[in-house]
Amino acid sequence: MNSRKSRRGFTLIELLIVIAIIVILISAAAPKFSQILMNAKETAAMRHIATIHTAQAQYSSQFGKYATVLSELGAPTSGSEGPAGANLIPDDLAKGVKGGYKFTLEGTPTGYKVTAVPEAFGNTGRRTFFSDQTMVLRENWGQEPASANSPQVK
């Protein structure tokens, strides 16, 4: 009996074929995973805007006006909570960056406006978002920041 035929195991060629098949499967799944991850980040950005709206309602109730920058909704930099730091939103959101999006809050004569723009367009998001004190969420499919004239999120 030949000793080669009695040995059990995989040949190098068989292992290379299996590895090649695994690489092909991973490369086919990666774009879909990337799209799912981007959708999750966009959904999270919409939820963060809702969080800002809730914080603005609380801030307005406490201080009789809307916050004009995100840091006013965040933790106080020193001392106790007050109009300069109401501790109503997480620190990362108060700094303007969370979950792959950059958030800005601006005071307006009638209230405020919030925008959310992807940190890396096409990677962390494909849409930009806008909302104001009306709490209507608007989106723009593209790099141009969404505005009050953008279509409403359905």
pLDDT single digits (tens) 33-92: 888 999 999 999 999 999 999 999 999 999 999 999 999 999 998 888 899 999 999 999
C-alpha dihedral sign at 33, 37, 39, 40: positive
**Quick check: helix, strand or coil at residue 20?**
helix
- Residue 119 pLDDT more than 70? yes
**Predicted pLDDT at 120:** 93
In a domain, residue 150? The reply is: no
Q: Which residues contact 145 (CB under 8 A, 6 or more apart)?
A: 115, 117, 128, 130
pTM: 0.80
Is residue 3 a part of any domain in this protein?
A: no
Is residue 72 included in any domain, yes or no?
yes
Q: Is the dihedral of CA 70, 50, 82, 78 positive or negative?
A: negative
On whether residue 84 sits in a domain, the answer given is yes
Q: Is residue 47 part of a domain?
A: yes
Percentage of residues of the chain with pLDDT beyond 90? 77
In this structure, is residue 31 part of a structural domain?
yes
User: Which is more confident, 82 or 31?
Assistant: 82
How far is Cα 92 from Cα 10, in angstroms, rounded to an integer? 52
Domain that holds residue 120: 12-141
Number of domains within the chain: 1
Both tokens assigned to 125 = 């998001």
- 2 part of a folded domain: no
Indicate whether 146 belongs to any domain.
Answer: no
